A = this chain, B = another copy of it.
Amino acid sequence: MDKLINKLINGDKRSVARAITIIENNQQPEKKQLIKLLYPYTGKAKIIGITGPPGAGKSTLVDGLLYHIRKQQLTVGIIAIDPSSPYSGGAILGDRIRMQHHALDPGVFIRSMGNRGELGGLAKATEETVKVLDAMGNDLIIVETVGVGQSELEIMNTADTTVVVLHPSTGDSIQTAKAGIMEIADIFVINKSDLQGAEKMAYELEMLIGRTSSTVGWQKKLVKTIGTEKQGIDQLWESIREHQQFLASSELFQKKRAGSLHRDFKSYLHELFQLQVDKHLKQAYPNQADLVQEMSRKGSWQVAEEIYDKLLKPQIKEKAD
């Protein structure tokens, strides 16, 4: 593991890929060890989240951004997520093409992730993969995810700067995008802005932005792009940089980092507790049907309290004696 970490923080792509596989497969105790050992090397990368409905043109925009990022000699890790796909590590979202483009560029690392387990699991795996790409030494990390549902919102929790990409052809996408996505967006992009309906959409968005802007001191931006023709990408890149500068100068960045430390802490603590519970249950009820029967007889609360008492209370009492 020490060797893996050492190679990883020196930017070895093969080691990075191995680390991400450990995370994706939730391979314990390796994963825990990995995250713990990586921690000192994390916290430097700026994280950009890009989300929006399928077909909005996110991948093309990210490709466009890559040009600006590399021109400034910045290194970047890209995580491309499709929550609806069970497929992982490979060629979703047109990444194979991009991977070929950038395969020889040591400053770009791209990884696809699909949804292997429950939805919460994907958000967590993303957060942990971000840490790997951070420890790898990237200046920027782009998290690109398809869709505007609950799971995407969770994934976007990880981002410092959130870009929501819409396109005019889904007439009602502002409606369907719902409250949540409107709140988390720092920058809106109307891509394919030459299509019919773009003006109306821009107008509606400006109205929305006007209504929701001032809470944290950041005036949400609206950028119009035509990704396939590289139009508007420079404005988008500039808006992202502006938001990063804003974060650096405000308390918000510290708050975001504190929130993410807290979330991690809570979920790790519960993971440890759950391991203990599972161990105890396996001993106390070798036959799972017995546990179900007991719950059915006494009720779930009752059984939960009894097991909790066995795990914690008696020992506390002993200590008091």
Segment of A222-230, A231-239, A291-299 engaged in the interface with chain B? A291-299
> How far, in angstroms, from A243 to B307 measured CA to CA in the complex?
36
A258 touching B312, Cβ below 8 Å = no
A269 touching B258, Cβ below 8 Å = no
B301 touching A264, Cβ below 8 Å = yes
B301 touching A150, Cβ below 8 Å = no
* Known A311-B312, A315-B318: A304·B272 in contact at CB below 8 Å: yes
* Known A261-B300, A302-B36: A270·B268 in contact at CB below 8 Å: no
Q: Which A residues between 13 and 53 are near B, CB-CB below 8 angstroms? A: 32, 35-36, 39-40
In the bound complex, residues from chain B placing their C-beta under 8 Å from that of A264 are 295, 300-301, 304
In the bound complex, residues from chain B placing their C-beta under 8 Å from that of A300 are 39, 261-262, 264-265, 268
Would you give the 0/1 interface string for A263-278, flagging 1 where the beta carbon is closer than 8 Å to chain B? Answer: 0110011101110110
The listed residue (B35, B84, B273, B315) touching A270 by CB distance below 8 A is B273
Residues of A in contact with B, size category: 35 or more
Check: A207 CB closer than 8 A to any chain B CB.
no
Give the residue name and chain of the B residue nearest to A316 (CB): B315
A295 touching B261, Cβ below 8 Å = yes
Give the residue name and chain of the B residue nearest to A302 (CB): B36
B312 touching A39, Cβ below 8 Å = no
B270 touching A270, Cβ below 8 Å = yes
Check: A151 CB closer than 8 A to any chain B CB.
yes
Q: Which A residues between 151 and 210 are near B, CB-CB below 8 angstroms? A: 151, 178-179
Check: A308 CB closer than 8 A to any chain B CB.
yes
Give the residue name and chain of the B residue nearest to A303 (CB): B265
Interface centre among A35, A273, A274, A308 (most CB of B within 10 A): A273
Give the residue name and chain of the B residue nearest to A31 (CB): B301
Check: A149 CB closer than 8 A to any chain B CB.
yes
In the bound complex, residues from chain B placing their C-beta under 8 Å from that of A272 are 304-305, 308
Taking beta carbons and an 8 Å cutoff, which residues of A are in contact with B? 32, 35-36, 39-40, 84, 119, 149-151, 178-179, 257-258, 261-262, 264-265, 268-270, 272-274, 276-277, 292, 295-296, 298-305, 307-308, 311-312, 314-316, 318-319
